Amino acid sequence: MQRLKIVFSGPMGAGKTQAISSLSDIPVVSTEVKNTDLDTNSKLLTTVGMDYGELTIEGGASIGLYGTPGQERFNFIWPILSQGALGVVILIDHSAADPVADLKNYLQKFNDIYGGRIVVGVSQVDKMPERPMSLYRDYLSSINSNIPLFPVDMRKREDVLLLVESIITSLEQS
């Protein structure tokens, strides 16, 4: 049987590991180690291999949830993980120094390696509520992109589900 999968990518601290933990029906397999790249992000732990969880959807099908590491030096794993994926969720940390540059970087790189469905989740919005969502929408319209973008909190299961449903719905329509 062909395994269904969805990949979560995005910069360090965006909430990829959290997203998979919030959504998975099984205990998540993570490869987190102590973060030594404190210049990029002050978080305590960071993913160096991948995260893996599973979500069982209506009808009993099971979707594998894969999280990439956020550190750029592990980029080589992106094409491997996203091969054959139903879709890729790009998570952006709204409170980062330049989140629009992060979005641009991730969209450009995935454009080169992945031809399937992409949705964007903007997380950590509560940490910088004064920064407007229009930054991202303006950027997406400037490149004529109709990629869906949602403000989300990865600690909330329903927010992660929204991203996943956005991928699945688009498949049903195509």
Ligand X SMILES: Nc1nc2c(ncn2[C@@H]2O[C@H](COP(=O)(O)OP(=O)(O)OP(=O)(O)O)[C@@H](O)[C@H]2O)c(=O)[nH]1
**How many Å is the maximal CA-CA distance in the chain?**
47
Measured between alpha carbons, how far is 61 from 55 in angstroms, rounded to an integer? 8
Nearest to 22 by CA among 159, 155, 164: 155
Number of residues forming the site for ligand X (CB under 6 A) = 19
Q: Pick from ligand X, Mg ion, none: which does 104 bind, CB < 5 to 8 A by kind?
A: none
Minimum gap (Å) between residue 60 Cβ and ligand X: 28
Residue nearer to Mg ion on the CB measure, 16 or 140: 16
DSSP single-letter state for residue 140: H
Minimum gap (Å) between residue 15 Cβ and ligand X: 3
What ranges in the chain are assigned the alpha helix state H? 16-23, 77-82, 99-113, 134-142, 157-173
Minimum gap (Å) between residue 16 Cβ and ligand X: 4
Which region among 52-60, 79-87, 131-139, 152-160 touches ligand X (by CB under 6 A)? 152-160
Write out the residues near Mg ion by the rule CB under 5 A: 16-17, 47
